[in-house]
Structure formats: structure tokens, C-alpha cells
Structure 1
Amino acid sequence: MKYTIGIDYGTESGRVILVNIENGDIVATSVTPYPHGVITGYLKNKALGKETALQVPQDYLDVLTKSIPEVIKNINPVDVIGIGLDFTSCTILPVNEELKPLCTIKKYETNPHAYVKLWKHHEAEDEAKQLNNNMQHEKWLSRYGGRISSEWMLPKIMEIANDDPALFDEIDLFLEAGDWVVSILTGSLTRNSCSAGYKGTWHKETGYLPNETLQKIHPKLENIYETKLAGAVKSTGTLAGNLTKEMSEQLGLNEGTPVAVGIIDAHAALPGVGVSEPGTLVMVMGTSTCHLLLSDKEVLVPGISGVVEDGILPGYYAYEAGQAAVGDLFAHFVKKYNTDFETLANEAKTLKPGESGLIALDWHNGCRTPYVDSALSGVLIGEKLSTKTYEIYRAILEATAFGTRVIIELFESNGIPITQVVATGGIPKKNTLLMQIYADILQKEITVVENDQAPALGAAILGAVAANAYATFPDAIEKMATKQSITYKPNKQNEQTYTQLFNIYQNLSKYFVHDTTIMHDLHNLKGENSQ
């Protein structure tokens, strides 16, 4: 019996699974929470910006040294034939020429720019606006829906260049955290095509942005792809290298074990749930939702997060869109009202669509698709003194479903058909009310994959292909992907009311984006008064 290891790095913890390559059975699982969690508010008693989200890179190595020995304790390490890894993105860290994170060097340990900037670090919003304003007529920007997010590589690098140019000059490399871990495992620098394409402006045919374009964006970016972003880009799922002797001793694995090129966490879910061809929209639902879709053609769709050739599976263009607040919005609501999900769900189930008289916008962490603007905020319309907590909860569930419908209609209106919707992650498996609401609002059947470890399984599949256990991705996916699922069918009786509510949702969205500056004015006032 042979196995691969799938490593899934999320926002709060890392998950490691041991997978039987013959049938995809998950033999063992271990989760290691990050000891330092997400650093906000203060760093070593130093106040941070309100939109700052940092992490400590040693936490990622702890996942390897704690969880890998745990999952392989009952097998012979020689039977582990490959390792695959996914990572939440865009999560970047600055390192020196030895790949040592700057935050681990004493003179930088109180400097927030020396730490990992997590994907939801939004302090680079001004830099993103500057980039977008300077580049609005550039053709390459159309591949990313016409706007770059503050969550992405270049704005975060520009933030450091603006705030601390001396530190910027001392940084040898900026790395995606997933690429850093793979490089530590193999002893050689590798950048993955998924992160480079979606978050780093890389294109398979044209490569990175030309230097004259970079100079227009920011003078500090001159030659950055030959210097601080140097390193060959390799296709996701190919061989990055082999496990070093040092790391093999720490992990209890054989030296030379093949390690696959990394992938973004949500994107790894697509092979994990069994998708290997166009037409299926995969919703990876966690703290945020990532919407992924394969196609045999490249279309420049406004407002999406990107289209990358071979971005997930070779031979296809892969599209990404997303919603910035889903699971963390629900969790925030439960904490705010000091209640629990089960109570809310039981009460919210009694409501008919539209009965509460409420509608919400789900922009509590900004809007990713289609407006790509982290300064946008949540809205609740229709609340009265008689409004119940569970009525607001249902309106928030519906709002996230309306946000997904916007994304589906965006793709379909641009000639990219969606014949099937698949949902994965812990939320769809647990929240049956939510998934029925999605089916009713989308008026499409939704298949919920029973396995909530799809990204880790997808990473393990990449590890199997990189180790040549399978000749092609379709072969590996057919054997190893999750097969258990349940299906939610749309209730036609709710279609008309939800269409009315969706039209209201769209009108509200257009008003706050195009007809007023209220949200940006409030965001700016908040920033001014927090200094």
C-alpha cells in the first residue's frame, strides 16, 4: 500500500492528511493550530494599522514537524511516495538570501513589515488604487477583471517600499508562503504557477510585466522580477524537488521523497472534489468563498480575480472569483449576538423568502467580485424595532447566496457556461439551511461534497502525479478524488420572490458603488480618526 501526504495551510491552522493513492482514502489526519494565530492590533506592544493581518512563519514549520510524524506513525515511511502542499494566498513574507525570514532576525523582530502579510492584510489599499489608476488602460489588467486587489503581491510589496524603504532595500526575496515552505522542504527555490498567475501578474505566454510597466507603477519595482521576485515559475502539480536530508530527519520521512510544486488552498479543492473538465463551478466555502471554474478558452471577464492558463490543471484556463466574507461573517454574527448556529438555523427555517422584510449586502470584509474593493462595507436594509435576530441571520445567509449568483451570471453573460455547481468545505457540510437557500437563489442543483478536506486531498493528488504514481491528472482524480456527496434541488416556489430580492440586491450594490461615495467617505473618516 502506497501513500501521499497532502498539506493544507489555512488561515488559523495547518492540516496534514495521509492518503491511500489507490482509492483516495484518508488514512490519518492531524491539525496543528498556529501558536501565534493571526496578529492584529499589536505586535510586541507596537500598535498596528486597523487592516493589518500578520503571521509568524515558524508556525508553518511547526505544522510539518508536528503533524507529519503524527500521520505516518503507523506506517513505514518508505511507503510515502510523494508530498503535495496548498497554501492560502496571497500570503507573502520577506526573506534574506538564505531564505531566512526577516522577522526571525533580532533587529527586525518589532518591524511589522518583516513578518508574513496574510491574505486578508488590507493595509495596501492605497497602493492598489495607485496601481489600478496608473494601469487602467493596460491590456494585461483585463486578465484580472480590470483591477488588482490590495490582497495581492505587488500592492503588499509597494506598501513596504512606501512605509519602510530602508527595509525594502535589505530584503533579498519576497516569497509566497507556500513557495517558501516548498523551498524549505526541497532546498531549492520554486515559485508555483497558480500563485504567480493569480496573485503575481504572471502569464504563461508573456511571463511577468515588462520593466517599463513596473517603473510606471512604482520606481522601487524596477527589475523586481529579476531581483526580489526572482525564481523559475513551475507548473502546479509538477515536481518541485526532493526532500532534503535535514528535513527528512525532522519529519521522519525518507530523504529524496518527491515534493510537488504548490498551489493555492482553494484551488487545490477542484481536483479534490473530482473536477477535471470544464462546466463545473466549484465553491470552496470557508472564512471566504473562492469560486473556481475550468474552461478551454481565455475570456477577459470584468471583476474576476483572474484567468490563468494551467493555473489549476494543465490544458485548461482556470478562472477565479470570490467573496471576501462568508464563514467569518456568520461567525461574527453569532459572536455579536451571543447565540449559536443551531438555534438560529431552527428559527430561520420557519421564515419564507421575503417574510422578514430585510435584505443585506455581504461586504463586511469588502467586495472581491465583481467590484474588487476592500473599502466597501456591509449593509442591512429593512430593520425595525420588531426585527428578530434570526431574521437578520437569514438575510445574511441570503446575501452571500446573492453574491454567488452575481458571480455565476457574470461568467455566463461572458460566454462561459456553468452546467453544475459543487460546494465543498466545512460550511456546506454543516449548514443545510444555507445550501438550500443557495439552491433556491441560484435555481441550480448544488452538489455538496461530504469530505470537508478537499483542498488537502487535492494537494495529495498533486503529490501523486508529481511522484509519477499516475500519468495524468484525470487518472489520479478519477481514483483518488472524493466520491460521497449530497444534492440540494431548487424549490421552484421560491424562485419568483428570490428573483425580486436579487434585483433589489443588485440595485443596492450599484447604488453604493456607482451613485454615492458614502462607504468610501466612512472608510476614510475611520482611517483619519484612527491615527
Structure 2
Amino acid sequence: MKYAIGIDFGTSSGRVLIVNAYTGSIAGISVCPYQHKVIEERLYEQPIPAGFSLQNSKDYMDVLKNGISEVLSNAKIDPKDIVGIGIDFTSSTMMVTDEHFVPLSWKEEHRHNPHAYVKLWKHHGASDEANRMMEAAAPDLHRYLGNYGLKVNSEWMIPKILELKNKAPDILKESAYIIEAGDWIVSKLTGGNVRSNCARGYKSFWNESDGFDFEFYEKTDPDLPDIIRAKCDGALVKIGQQAGLLTREMSQWLGLPANIPVAPAIIDAHSAVLGVGSTEHGQFTMVMGTSTCHLMLHQEQKQIPGISGSVRDAIIPGLYAYEAGQSAVGDLFESVVNQVPKEYADEAQQRNLSIYDLLEMKASRKKVGEIGVIALDWHNGNRSPLSDSDLTGVIIGQTLHTKPEDIYRAYMEATAFGTRMIMSSYEEYGLQVNEVFACGGLPQKNSLLIQIYADILNKPIHISNSDYAPAIGAAILGAVAGGQYEQVRDAVANMKQPLLKTVLPIRENVEKYNGLFQIYKDLHNYFGIDNRRILGSLQEIAER
């Protein structure tokens, strides 16, 4: 038998899988939580600015070293039977390194500087820079941002680079490379300077026909084109190709044979599309976790307001992949869990339940509309369709009788309403949704949540049987890079994971949720468009 390794670098942990290259069966799994976690409040006991979301790249190396060692031990296979390695990563997750690809945060003189660290996808320190890019694009919005939903998000690569220029010029000057974390991993494995078309296309205003949009960069900041040319260039490799071969040095460090083919990095949510096998037109894929990404494929490129981008060949060669997303989903549910009163924690312990399960059980007893509460799911900003990371959450309808499970259910419904807004944007511009797929831990573990989604979207939802769809997708690309398949579609057909179940909408609930969705939509437009200054003023007061 032949096997591929798929490594999924998520927000809180890395997952390493060994996957049968012919059947897709999983031979071994290793889950490696990041030792330093997400750094959002303090760096070595020093407070960091609000909105920062950092990581320590040493954790990524631990995933490679410890995860591969553990999964090889669990799988009990001959390492010589591994035909390829694939990598997926959250994006845009930005790193600054020296000329040897050593992160600047590893150097003693920079270990206390937050700008030297990985800036995670949900880092919002570049809001001012994103606003500046919007101002530069305004005179010809469709020319510069037509393929990016007519918006610039502070989570993307270019605003984060401008943040370095404006707020950490010393770090910018010392850096030799500014690179996506996924590309950094691939470059470390292969000994090259490799850049994937996937993250570059979505996060850097790049397209295959024209390359980087230097005209847009220059309108934003005269220095920006030279920064991009000097620090962001590299050997471009497209999804479905081979990025290079595992170096002898890395092979010895990882306990693998040298010269194993390595695939270019792919964004984690995009990789999940391959893992679940959602590769046809009309299929809408929700990759649900800390955040949610919503992806579709199409033959044509359409300018759809509110999406995060559309890039040719970013998932399936020959097709445009469309991305939209919500910045807080699992994070939002976790915030309720972390704030339950003591009696709820005690009850969960007495019943031998997690607090999540207790809240779901209590929330499931409520009928649609019974809680009298509705929320806007903007607690980490709005990625789509407003693309405004400065927006904050709203919840209305609370009374003295509102309980934690009511808030929990309201947040579930809010994320489903947000998904409906995104789906409506796709369909309004001709990307008809025929089927909905869901993957990630949330759909499998929370039956109430996925029923709410089915009812609000009024669509059957197919749920993947695997928690590890992104890592499966990475392994699929590893198998293609290793020559086991000529086409990505052929690898997907053999290696995709089976479905767990299909959840159908309940007609009575659909009708009730249609009325609640109109209230959500009114609130969305009131606070997100017509009266955005209300939430912005609160943030300004808080910052002062």
C-alpha cells in the first residue's frame, strides 16, 4: 500500500494524518495542541494592543516533529511507503523571517516585540491600513476590488504588511521575507522559497494573468510595490502541482526518507472541500470550526459583493473557487460556555456532561422563536458580506428571564442567519446552491446546531464523517504531488471521506425562521450599513 501525509495547521492545534493513497482510509492520526496557544492579551507578561492575535511559530515545528513521529508510530507503516506530503494552513497567517527563513521572533532581540511574531488570520491590528486601501480603491472600486467582494479585510496579507511599515518599521527593514505560514512550512520542508497560488490569490490581490496588482499597491502607498517585490516574491506553484522534494536535513529530523514529494500549501478551508468531495458546481461547502468558511466552485469569474475572493485553480484546476466566511462561530459558542453561572457548571459535572452538551440540551427544549432573543454574530467582526472587522456583536430582546441557553441558541441561530446572508449573495449573482455540505467538529457534535442551519437555509445538509477534512484534502494533494494521480479530481474520487448523515429541514421551522430572518436582516442593515457609526463610536470610546 501507498500512503500520503496530510498536515492541517489550524487555529489551536495541528493535525497530522497518514492516509491510504488509494482508498482514503486513515491509518494514523496525531493531534498536537499549540503549546503557546493564541496570544491575544499578553506576550511574556507584557500587554499587547487590542485586536492583536499572534502565534509562536515554534509550535508549528513541534507539530512537524512530534506529530509525524507519533503518527508513524500509530500507523505502523514503513515510511518508505509514503508517496507525498500535503500542507494546509489558516490564512492569511503572516510571518516575517530572515534570509534563512528563521522567524524574527526566534531572535533574542525581538522576542518581546509582537510585530515579530506570527500574525494569525484573525489578527485585526491592520484596520487602519485596510481602510486606507479602501480609500485608494474607491475611485475605481470594481477595477481594484471587483473580485474581492468590493472590500478589503484587515485579516488579509497586504494590510498586515502596511501595518508593519506604519507601526514596526524596524521589523519590516530587518525582514528578508514576508510569507504565509503555509508557504513557510513548505519552504522549510523543500529548502526553497515557495509560494502557493491559493493564499496569494485570495489574500494579496494577485491573479494568474496579471500577477500582483502593483498599480493598486502604489495608489495605497508609494513604498508598497517595492516592499512586495523585495520580500513577498518566490517560486509560484499551483494547487495540483509539486512544490519540491523533502530535503535530506528535514528528512533526518522528521524520520522520513529524503526526496518525498511535497505539495504546495493550500488554505485550510479550501483543503476541506477536497476532503469532503464537494467539487462540483452548485455545491456549497461550510467548513465549520472557530470560524466558518463558505466555498463554491464555478467555471466563470463573477464580481460578487461581500465575498473574500475568487481565484482560478485554487482548489480544482480549471475552476474558480469562491470564498466567503464568518469570523466567529465556534469562538462565539465558547464565549457563552466560559461565562455560565456556577450552578450550570455544577449541573454539568453532576450529569457527567460537558457545558456545551448541557447548553445544547437546554436550548433544544425551546421552540423556534420562543427565546425572544436575536443576535448579530459580529463578535470578531464581519468577514462576509460586509467585510468589516471593526463591527461588534449585538443581541436584543433580553429580559430578566433570559437564560444562558437562550443566548447560546441565539448565537447558533445568528451564525446560521449569517450563512444565509452569504448564500443569498452567491445565488443573487448566479451561483445556484443545489447541495450543502458541512464538515468540521461542530456539525458532527452538535445536532441542534445543524438542524437550525438546515431549517434556516431550507436546504438538506450533508455532514462529513470525518473531523479531519482539511488534513484529508492536504493528503490528497500530497498523493497528487507524489504522482499517484494525474488529476486532483481523480484523487478526490478515491480518497474523499464518506458522509455521516444528511439533515433535512423541518417545514414548520422553516416558515418560522423566515420571519426571524427578516428581523436579522433588518438589524444587519441597520447596524452594519445605515448606522455603522453606532458600533464604531462604542469602540472608539472603549479604546480611548
**1:242 equivalenced with 2:242 (yes/no):** no
**1:146 equivalenced with 2:150 (yes/no):** yes
Aligned-pair CA distance for 1:16: 0.1
Task: Find the aligned partners of 1:342 and 1:93 in 2 and give their Cα distance.
Answer: 37
**1:64 equivalenced with 2:64 (yes/no):** yes
User: What's 2:206 paired with?
Assistant: 202
AA in 2 matched with 1:233: L
Query: Which TM-score applies when normalising by structure 1?
Result: 0.98
User: What's 1:166 paired with?
Assistant: 170
User: What's 2:335 paired with?
Assistant: 332
Please tell me whether the aligned partners of residues 462 and 499 of structure 2 are also in contact (alpha carbons under 8 angstroms). Answer: no
Moved more, 119-128 or 135-144: 135-144
Task: Find the aligned partners of 1:281 and 1:42 in 2 and give their Cα distance.
Answer: 38
User: What's 2:350 paired with?
Assistant: none
User: What's 2:220 paired with?
Assistant: 217
Equivalent residue of 2:338, what SS?
helix
Task: Find the aligned partners of 2:110 and 2:408 in 1 and give their Cα distance.
Answer: 44
Aligned-pair CA distance for 1:471: 1.5
Equivalent residue of 1:18, what SS?
strand
Please tell me whether the aligned partners of residues 161 and 220 of structure 1 are also in contact (alpha carbons under 8 angstroms). Answer: no
**Cα shift readout 1:384-440 (whole Å, capped 9, x = no counterpart):** 112222122111111111001101111001111110000000000000000011111
Moved more, 159-168 or 504-513: 159-168
User: What's 1:391 paired with?
Assistant: 406
Task: Find the aligned partners of 2:204 and 2:383 in 1 and give their Cα distance.
Answer: 17
- 1:298-337 equivalences in 2 (<5 Å): 298-337=301-340
Aligned-pair CA distance for 1:518: 0.7
AA in 1 matched with 2:64: L
Task: Find the aligned partners of 1:328 and 1:392 in 2 and give their Cα distance.
Answer: 14
- 1:87-166 equivalences in 2 (<5 Å): 87-136=89-138, 137-138=140-141, 139-166=143-170
User: What's 2:35 paired with?
Assistant: 35
- Corresponding residue to 2:496 among 448, 469, 481: 481
**Cα shift readout 1:198-246 (whole Å, capped 9, x = no counterpart):** 1111101111112x43222123313233211111321123100000000
Task: Find the aligned partners of 1:247 and 1:232 in 2 and give their Cα distance.
Answer: 20
User: What's 2:390 paired with?
Assistant: 375
State, as a whole percentage, how many aligned pairs show the same letter.
48
**1:363 equivalenced with 2:366 (yes/no):** no
**1:453 equivalenced with 2:468 (yes/no):** yes
**Cα shift readout 1:479-508 (whole Å, capped 9, x = no counterpart):** 100013201111111222111100000000
- Corresponding residue to 1:193 among 197, 204, 219: 197
Task: Find the aligned partners of 1:428 and 1:101 in 2 and give their Cα distance.
Answer: 36
AA in 1 matched with 2:24: G
Equivalent residue of 2:307, what SS?
coil
**Cα shift readout 1:109-133 (whole Å, capped 9, x = no counterpart):** 2111111111111011111111111
Task: Find the aligned partners of 1:279 and 1:356 in 2 and give their Cα distance.
Answer: 34
Aligned residues: 527
Please tell me whether the aligned partners of residues 4 and 84 of structure 2 are also in contact (alpha carbons under 8 angstroms). Answer: yes
**Cα shift readout 1:28-65 (whole Å, capped 9, x = no counterpart):** 00111111111122222332101111111111011111
Task: Find the aligned partners of 1:484 and 1:215 in 2 and give their Cα distance.
Answer: 48
Please tell me whether the aligned partners of residues 240 and 487 of structure 2 are also in contact (alpha carbons under 8 angstroms). Answer: no
AA in 2 matched with 1:118: L
Task: Find the aligned partners of 1:447 and 1:468 in 2 and give their Cα distance.
Answer: 31
Equivalent residue of 2:421, what SS?
helix
The alignment yields a C-alpha RMSD, in angstroms, of 1.1
**Cα shift readout 1:59-96 (whole Å, capped 9, x = no counterpart):** 10111110111112321111001000000111011111
AA in 1 matched with 2:9: Y
AA in 1 matched with 2:399: K
Please tell me whether the aligned partners of residues 285 and 436 of structure 2 are also in contact (alpha carbons under 8 angstroms). Answer: yes
Task: Find the aligned partners of 1:88 and 1:424 in 2 and give their Cα distance.
Answer: 16
Please tell me whether the aligned partners of residues 287 and 327 of structure 1 are also in contact (alpha carbons under 8 angstroms). Answer: yes
**Cα shift readout 1:291-310 (whole Å, capped 9, x = no counterpart):** 01111111000010000011
Aligned-pair CA distance for 1:24: 0.3
AA in 2 matched with 1:124: A
User: What's 1:24 paired with?
Assistant: 24
Moved more, 270-279 or 316-325: 270-279
List alignment gaps of at least 5 residues for structure 1. none
